[in-house]
Structure 1
């Protein structure tokens, strides 16, 4: 993977940063309109993709690793694991990565596609923009949308916020427009300079990606039972029918595992996110040891692919929020599975934006909610099989796994628990998991064995059924734009459900 910093916008673009550090404002012309003069879209597409994934999505999952309990830290109550000081002070940088790096690249790609009569680039910019808006609003709720960077106007330093409902409407509009633009003639091919590192210029795959994202966001509305945005499982299924059709469609960027830190998977040992992922969590490891929640011992074959073996043997996770006791006689780190070195956390591991298996689990949920149990069960099994294939599990082991599902669960015992457990495993290191946790209200009936982390911030979350529902806005955004932003009091921000998370 090329160095993403070669693609970060010039300093004039960074001046938009109503949400970044003071250093970005230490320039002479902070309200000058950013320029795209002399650029062409084929030289910008790779940067737009990489900033969407390697900056925005990376930050989107890094700080919630403990919340979704994929990873655990060596130190008790570290960072966001226990919903503690790190979150309540607004020291959380998805916001900056979205508005400084990711969204400006998509805005320029849209603009340049229009200027160069190349609507395929405009379409890709809109798809990535929808994806970024979705990640941001699903963590914060109301976000800056209309007043975010626009290459055709001066920078707005005190932007207004849009409600999450408005953002979702824009996501669907952007995706519909992009799908139509991908059917138009384009003077410049998407991969003319080999910049399309997602789909190598295949517009049909980009359309399937757009439909798959649309299905994801339509499916977030399960708590909406009436009104304009009432949950419509048939609309979800209709989008899925035009979405991903196999693992060949998976949207991912591949790291090379080279010497440069940004050529390493961020969560690998030398990656720039490894400090947030000391160990795999106890919840995640134990779930993989009994994913079907049956009485007999049946270990998931993905356990040894995803999780690293402890120095002292076996596969053991650390309880989220607990840390480990550094007394070697009691609780040595060598007894636990370190967070790096597995399928998702090796230097050359990919980062997945969306996969065929996730699409099938979305289909399974939509069909289950529309009472098509047979169709839901079939989609669920296809999703499980697709994820096992993604991890290169041998075909005989896959066959054994599917047979065990039929024997132990079957259509008669099948429900949301099975769908969400498998989706949780398949969506490893994807911030989408936090959406599912909240949609399911962190239910231990849906996620067997799920408990609140140790050392939870009881001043804000005093009761056992209190769970974190949203993220704080960054402190520097609050300092600059407090007149426009929603209430950022931790006791309100962290505990108030988002729009789609309310009945």
Structure 2
């Protein structure tokens, strides 16, 4: 872990400048909030809050991809009901509003480094917003000229996000009299790592578009070649004693009988040797056991069933890689990038795809610090290292699903893969409006319905984001 003493100081800056600029939905000025934030304060806020946005999305998408399951039967998230995600909407737009201001300030002051970072972070947050909602306000979203901004087409917004990434990467190469340092929670001002992250995000967004006319496998691979080179490049935000990792809080709350973080039966069975031939050594480093020392999941939509006592099911527990108080929230990883490479190379260069697949598993295991003998045994098993000839796209998606544990990108993959993971079944008590199908998007939040209802597209939970092709 790094720079904790400095973080105690810089956290005050986060509080001071958080929500420094109102989103288009928040029109009343707060005299207690500063109206003009400097670049350093904006940088601190947007890097920190972008990591929290990643967690916030993962906190519900993890039920859709069956990492987690509710302890209570018929839970609305488990059963994919049309929930109100107004808070998620506000959090995403508050960060994008600060980024909009940051871009303008950086352009005015000639701070090309801050400009490049802001453009990359804008692409991240706007793509996360599109991925869950589809069409959203953007072109009229930040000028405060209207309370009813138009909704922009999701495909157009994706192209804008890719343009932001290209511009951001280019601007990072420019001259600036300003220095980014520890006001950057992600890379501490390392512009080479920011450029690599920009390329990694390009690969992520482009692989989503596979099957679209705009898709080019070669462009994805070119972005990968300029992206991360190891786990040392991972885009992540470390937490600290006063404000620790939110997944650790979930584990602590569960231990205090505020139930959450229960593990889906599907996830346990995918790693314990039930659904696949090989028992995965990562399981014990990612989740806890029952009081009897066993891994037992909870069926989505069913709840605790005949095991009402806490300790009879596996949950997230404190002090593991994802749940230590000072663990990082992962935004983008080298392991994810390797699986993107494997998918992009699969048709034209299967040997490269297979090696990237093996490297993706290895890098995730190394990140979790799996003992070397257990790692070697797993990789040596023919069900994992099946050889180039037998290697399939299903193998890539399965291992990527494991490596993206608790990350919202996994829901994007699940929809692209049509939820075809081995053993993944429709949850019990499914929302009847889904007609026996998995959810494809979120409903628009109540806050938007009340303020901007005339512009909201008419959609159902089965309507697909543009890249979610049938």
TM normalised by structure 2 equals 0.91
Q: Map Cα deviations across residues 106-147 of structure 1 (whole Å, 9 max, x no partner).
A: 122212212322111011111010000111101011011112
Q: Is the 8 A contact 2:440 2:463 kept in 1?
A: yes
Equivalent positions of 1:158-307 (< 5 A) are 158-191=148-181, 194-224=182-212, 227=213, 229=214, 231-256=215-240, 258-260=241-243, 265=248, 267-270=250-253, 277-290=260-273, 293-294=276-277, 298-307=278-287
- Does 2:76 match 1:96? no
Tell me which residue corresponds to 2:138.
Answer: 145
- Does 2:56 match 1:59? yes
Distance 1:57 1:210, change over 3 A: same
Q: Is the 8 A contact 1:106 1:129 kept in 2?
A: yes
Distance 1:394 1:58, change over 3 A: same
Aligned to 2:356, what secondary structure does the other structure show?
helix
Q: Distance in 1 between matches of 2:275 and 2:343?
A: 17
Q: Map Cα deviations across residues 29-79 of structure 1 (whole Å, 9 max, x no partner).
A: 9xxxx942xx4312321111111111x222212222211111111111223
Q: Map Cα deviations across residues 426-471 of structure 1 (whole Å, 9 max, x no partner).
A: 111111111111101111xxx111001111012x0223xx121110
1:367, distance to aligned residue in structure 2 (A)? 0.8
Q: Is the 8 A contact 2:247 2:322 kept in 1?
A: no
- Does 2:353 match 1:355? no
1:289, distance to aligned residue in structure 2 (A)? 1.4
Q: Distance in 2 between matches of 1:250 and 1:480?
A: 39
- Does 2:447 match 1:480? no
Distance 1:162 1:386, change over 3 A: same
Q: Is the 8 A contact 1:442 1:450 kept in 2?
A: yes
Tell me which residue corresponds to 2:402.
Answer: 425
1:196, distance to aligned residue in structure 2 (A)? 1.4
Distance 1:383 1:374, change over 3 A: same
Distance 1:187 1:388, change over 3 A: same
Q: Distance in 2 between matches of 1:438 and 1:26?
A: 38
- Unmatched runs of 5 consecutive residues or more in structure 2: 1-6
1:156, distance to aligned residue in structure 2 (A)? 2.8
Q: Is the 8 A contact 2:149 2:452 kept in 1?
A: yes
Aligned to 2:116, what secondary structure does the other structure show?
helix
Distance 1:413 1:293, change over 3 A: farther
- Does 2:322 match 1:344? yes
Q: Distance in 2 between matches of 1:92 and 1:310?
A: 35
- Unmatched runs of 5 consecutive residues or more in structure 1: 19-23
Q: Map Cα deviations across residues 262-315 of structure 1 (whole Å, 9 max, x no partner).
A: 7874544259xx968331111111111139822xxx321111100112122211
Q: Distance in 2 between matches of 1:244 and 1:172?
A: 18
Q: Distance in 2 between matches of 1:266 and 1:163?
A: 37
1:494, distance to aligned residue in structure 2 (A)? 0.3
Q: Distance in 2 between matches of 1:276 and 1:51?
A: 25
- Does 2:465 match 1:494? no
Which contiguous aligned blocks of 4+ residues in structure 1 show a shift greater than 6 angstroms?
261-264
Q: Distance in 2 between matches of 1:398 and 1:474?
A: 44
Q: Is the 8 A contact 1:40 1:116 kept in 2?
A: no
Match of 1:451 among 418, 425, 444: 425
Tell me which residue corresponds to 2:118.
Answer: 125
Q: Is the 8 A contact 2:179 2:189 kept in 1?
A: yes
Equivalent positions of 1:397-408 (< 5 A) are 397-405=374-382
Q: Distance in 2 between matches of 1:156 and 1:407?
A: 55
- Does 2:17 match 1:7? yes
Aligned to 1:352, what secondary structure does the other structure show?
strand
Aligned to 1:145, what secondary structure does the other structure show?
coil
- Does 2:371 match 1:394? yes
TM normalised by structure 1 equals 0.85
Tell me which residue corresponds to 1:44.
Answer: 42
Aligned to 1:290, what secondary structure does the other structure show?
coil
1:27, distance to aligned residue in structure 2 (A)? 5.2
